[in-house]
Amino acid sequence: MSGRPNLEQVRARNALNAVNRGVRGRGVQDGDALSGFPALIVNNGLLATLAYAISKRDRGGYREIGDAIAAHLADPLIGLHKGPPTLSGLRDALAAENSAALRLCTAEALAYLNYLRRFAKGQNSQPQNRSQED
């Protein structure tokens, strides 16, 4: 089969790529920042959550989660973010967007996080010294 992948396939591919790059969403003292990230978005909005992730600097895994969301939204098959695929780039772009674009990005970020959470959880439960499978 060939052709364009559907949104679920793109989300899964991007989440797997993020996990393979080392995104685990492990928080301070090995807490799980990734499981709480969707709730932060739902309760505070995507822009406020991105600002929170930036304020945490490199502590708590929030920045790596924000960068993964930015990279996903910048994927050409998703096409919701045209700026730099970084947490700061996404924040700046969304601050200048209209509310409809912000709603689309929020919905897509939440859908993507479902995949990222599951794939990262699977990796977090794997032994650290496992052999690489091809």
Residue 81 contacts residue 74 (beta carbons within 8 Å): yes
Q: What is the dihedral of CA 37, 93, 112, 128, to 10 degrees?
A: -60
Residue 113 contacts residue 64 (beta carbons within 8 Å): no
pTM strictly above 0.75: yes
pLDDT, tens only, 60-105: 689 999 999 999 999 999 999 998 999 999 999 999 999 999 999 9
Give the per-residue pLDDT at 122: 75
Q: Taking the domains of the chain in order of start, what are their residue ranges? A: 7-124
Residue 28 contacts residue 58 (beta carbons within 8 Å): no
117 has pLDDT over 80: yes
User: Cα angle vertex 123, ends 33, 10, to 5°?
Assistant: 85
The domain over range 7-124 is classified in CATH as 3.30.1380.20: no
Q: In one letter, which amino acid is 132? A: Q
